[in-house]
Amino acid sequence: MSDVIPVDLRSDTVTKPSVAMRQAMAEAEVGDDVFGDDPTVNRLQDRVAKLMGKEAAIYMPSGSMANQTAIRAQTQPGDEIIAHEDSHIYHYEAGAPAALSGCLLRLLPGKGGQYDAAAVDEVIRPKDSHFAQSRLVVIENTHNRGGGTCWSLEAIEQVKNVVDKHGLSMHLDGARMMNACVAKGHKPADYAQYFDTVSMCFSKGLGAPVGSAVAGSVEMIGRVHRFRKMFGGGMRQAGVIAAAAIYALDHNVERLAEDHKNAKRLAKALSEMNHVRVDVDMVETNIVYFDIDEKFGTAKQVCDRLQAEGVWMIGVSAQRVRAVTHMDVSDAAIDKAIVVLARLFSAAV
């Protein structure tokens, strides 16, 4: 087996904790979080609540559980959730809105994973016993399948006005919200102010090994807490991993700008290669999608060739490839990836 370290661009979830983060984990003061007496978890939850401008927050094992407990806390079986057709809760959470909350999804189109307020207003169900009841609107920011795109505060506010008019709730899937904050110069609370619940992830670009959180009102987080237990997410001496999340918030937020710069550089290089189509202007944060000409091969074939040369990416459809930059991918690693890609796509069809 080769001892060459690959350029792993499959996801920002592949980051490994640094020596300093591991030290923080080793020194974490712990208790039993199910009893509410893990001091490090409590410190993290207080930190997240203040960051989001909310009354309370709760630590979660995963982003999917964060989203799904928030959904369950704000809906009843038979309700309808409005979300983008490319949303994470629809594609990558194992049908959980239906299985765990008994809810339908009403999916809206829109470039870059975004829809407008008028589209939301149009699909909200009448108050009639024949219909599922519209109950919750979900926005994902940044938007994964949209290419790491960022919602503007103005667009979110417009959706919020429609939601308030109809008496619905709003949830923010903010798994990569800190990327949006760094890219657009906003504070987390600037985004969170429009939502009843907000989730965020520590194990992506922030570099922690595990964990997410949900923030909201005291009453709402009380409901979310119950469903965390119901879904099997109660943790004991979780301060060991919560310490990594605290370290990430202290040290790894502003450096996300480096990942964004590397993603833009990668996208620009790809745009100059044969057999590839990429929209450089859509690359706002750390995610790059590019399409392969059918005559050149499939996304899987391209990813297999790249992996053989030490560059790892993911084929997300027949012709589309995703690359995600992160803290474990240096400038030099991006240089290597560009060289390998250029060599691959210089081949004749």
Cα–Cα dist 271/289, whole Å = 11
Cα–Cα dist 39/65, whole Å = 22
Query: For the residues of 253-285, what is the DSSP string, one character each?
Result: STTHHHHHHHHHHHHHHHHTSTTEE--GGG--S
Residue 164 makes CB contacts below 8 A (sequence gap 6+) with: none
Cα–Cα dist 106/102, whole Å = 13
The percentage of the chain sitting over the pLDDT mark of 70, rounded to a whole number, equals 99
What values do phi and psi take at 8, rounded to 5?
A: -95, 100
Give the model's pLDDT for residue 1.
43
**How large is the average pLDDT for residues 226-251?**
97
Domain residue ranges in the chain: 7-13+255-345, 31-251
**69 upstream amide cis, omega within 30 of 0:** no
Q: Which long-range contacts (CB under 8 A, 24 or more apart) does 337-343 make?
A: 337/7, 337/9, 337/266, 337/311, 338/265, 338/266, 338/269, 340/7, 340/306, 340/309, 340/310, 340/311, 341/269, 341/270, 341/273, 341/306, 341/311, 342/269, 342/273, 343/309
**How large is the average pLDDT for residues 311-326?**
97
**How large is the average pLDDT for residues 11-32?**
97
Q: What is the pLDDT of residues 42-90, one digit of tens each?
A: 999 999 999 999 999 999 999 999 999 999 999 999 999 999 999 999 9
For 123, the enclosing helix (H) or strand (E) is helix 117-123
Fold of 31-251: Aspartate Aminotransferase; domain 2 (3.40.640)
Identity of the residue numbered 345: F
**Confidence category of residue 142, pLDDT binned at 50, 70, 90:** very high
Confirm if 151 and 176 have CB atoms less than 8 A apart.
no
**How large is the average pLDDT for residues 176-200?**
98
Q: What is the pLDDT of residues 286-304, one digit of tens each?
A: 999 999 999 999 999 999 9
CATH assignment, 7-13+255-345? 3.90.1150.10
